[in-house]
Amino acid sequence: MCLLCNKVLGNDAMKPSNLQDHLRRCHPDKTDKDLKYFQTLKEMMMVCGRLTISPKSGKPHTIEEKLILPAVEEVLKTVLHKPASDIIKRIPLSHNTVERRIDEMSSDNESFLCNYLRTTHFSIQLDESTLPDNAALLLGYVRFIMNQEIYEELLFARTLITDTKGESIFQVLKDYFSEKAIPLSNIISVATDGAPAMVGRYREFISYLKQNVSGVKPNPKQRVVYTRLFAQLCEELDEHFHQLLLHTEVRWLSKGLCLTRSFALFETISEFLDTKDKILKENLMKRKTDIAYLTDLFTKFNMVNLQLQGDSLNLIKTKSILSAFLARVNLMKQNIGRGEFSQFPNLSQTSCQEDDVSTYVQHLNARYSDFESRFEDILTMVIPPWIIY
């Protein structure tokens, strides 16, 4: 490897004549340097290698004594030219110290979360799984609203000591809520994986919870029966798709595909909900225009997202893609304000009211400002003409 440009050279380049040729062609300003100059570069690179090779090993946080302290020692020796033993002794990075700090931070976060849950309503999701050593673990997640935003947090992870029956699961939940002084009445809905120990009617978790909390609404996640019934209905109606996509909070691409599939099956979903949940169907029909608008908008987000991926992407292409997309958003805002839906094919199939159009214009204007502020550094970047030509 070349010490000047860090280029990895082949075996043929190790010949003295090829090395001299590389030095003359790539580093003409270094041809008059003596051997000591290159030896110094080699020593500096070896020091940097010792400082950077250890983090790649993927070790846990308990490696501070073997990772951080040697790195600090190298820095002190190289920069300050003094022994580092006295300073290193005063840095508390022992395994017990780090473990205690992590436990304290975790306890503080749990205390803040429990204090807030004592004063607000929330939904809880429970999931029971078995570890490789046959230990049964119960995980509890909560979803709540704070400062007009929806949050999801891990509340607890407890071991089921005896069995995984519904009564044992409820007892673990009840003991934890009693320990943290969280009223069970603050639970407004429960989501489970649909296992028999969770959703049984008489002696399972949901039944015990209903005996202690009135009005709680169970919501089994991905109920298998509903999935099969919906797939059968899609097949009877000769739909191209037979199931909905699960939404993920990862990137716009997932949201766009989820909305596209949902709107494609909108009529089938409405017919299915007509026999399962009429209130939900009515609310869904009221939001049909909103779903159509978001489907078209996220489809365009997907196109930009795909264009901003790939190994050949650079800052010049990024600026061009973002500038073109902002111009397109501005044009969409003007067209939809005049009642022209050519850029919104799904929205054009619905009966869009003037109030809805006004809301969509405001939303597009907010997205335009958001993109401008988020990518301000790229959009205002000045590209010299000689780079393009």
Domain containing residue 15: 11-89
Whether 227 is in a domain gets the answer no
279, 225 Cβ separation under 8 angstroms:
no
pLDDT at position 54: 41
109, 142 Cβ separation under 8 angstroms:
no
Which tokens go with 213?
């909390």
Domain identity same for 176 and 247 = no
Domain identity same for 34 and 151 = no
Domain identity same for 136 and 209 = yes
Distance CA 266, CA 341 (A): 20
292, 346 Cβ separation under 8 angstroms:
yes
Whether 33 is in a domain gets the answer yes
For 204-227, write each residue's pLDDT tens digit: 777 778 887 777 666 655 455 566
Domain boundary among the residues 189, 220, 251 is at: 220
pLDDT at position 48: 52
Domain boundary among the residues 194, 220, 246 is at: 220
Residue written as tokens 């017990």? 96
Domain identity same for 162 and 110 = yes
Whether 333 is in a domain gets the answer yes
Distant-in-sequence, close-in-space partners of 10: CB < 8 Å, separation ≥ 6: none
194, 220 Cβ separation under 8 angstroms:
yes
68, 51 Cβ separation under 8 angstroms:
no
Percent of the chain with pLDDT over 70: 75
Domain identity same for 242 and 209 = no
Domain identity same for 322 and 347 = yes
159, 135 Cβ separation under 8 angstroms:
yes
DSSP E strands in the chain: the ranges are 122-130, 136-146, 149-160, 187-192, 217-220
pLDDT at 357 over 50: yes
pLDDT at position 93: 66
- What does the mean pLDDT of the chain come to? 77
Lowest mean pLDDT among 113-122, 137-146, 162-171: 162-171
Collapsing DSSP to helix, strand or coil, 339 comes out as coil
Domain identity same for 210 and 183 = yes
Whether 177 is in a domain gets the answer yes
Domain identity same for 128 and 193 = yes
Which tokens go with 82?
């003094």
Check residues 31 and 44 and name the one with the higher pLDDT: 31
Domain identity same for 213 and 249 = no
* pLDDT band of 55, cuts 50, 70, 90: very low
Q: Kindly tell me the sign of the dihedral angle through the C-alpha atoms of 178, 180, 182, 184.
A: negative
pLDDT at 302 over 80: yes
Domain CATH code at residue 155: 3.30.420.40
What mean pLDDT do residues 368-389 have?
81
Distance CA 195, CA 205 (A): 10
Whether 229 is in a domain gets the answer no
For 331-355, write each residue's pLDDT tens digit: 988 888 888 888 888 888 888 888 8
Distance CA 284, CA 266 (A): 9
Whether 255 is in a domain gets the answer yes
Distant-in-sequence, close-in-space partners of 246: CB < 8 Å, separation ≥ 6: 258
Whether 319 is in a domain gets the answer yes
Would you put residue 383 in left (φ > 0), alpha (ψ -120 to 50) or beta? beta
Domain identity same for 214 and 251 = no
137, 130 Cβ separation under 8 angstroms:
yes
pLDDT at 245 over 70: no
DSSP per residue, 189-200: EEEE---HHHH-
The number of folded domains in the chain is 3
187, 213 Cβ separation under 8 angstroms:
yes
Lowest mean pLDDT among 85-89, 128-132, 168-172, 216-220: 216-220
Number of alpha carbons in the 13 Å side-chain half-sphere of residue 170: 20
Lowest mean pLDDT among 29-33, 64-68, 268-272: 64-68
Domain identity same for 249 and 370 = yes
Domain boundary among the residues 220, 248, 272 is at: 220
Distance CA 129, CA 138 (A): 7
Domain identity same for 190 and 296 = no
327, 335 Cβ separation under 8 angstroms:
no
Whether 29 is in a domain gets the answer yes
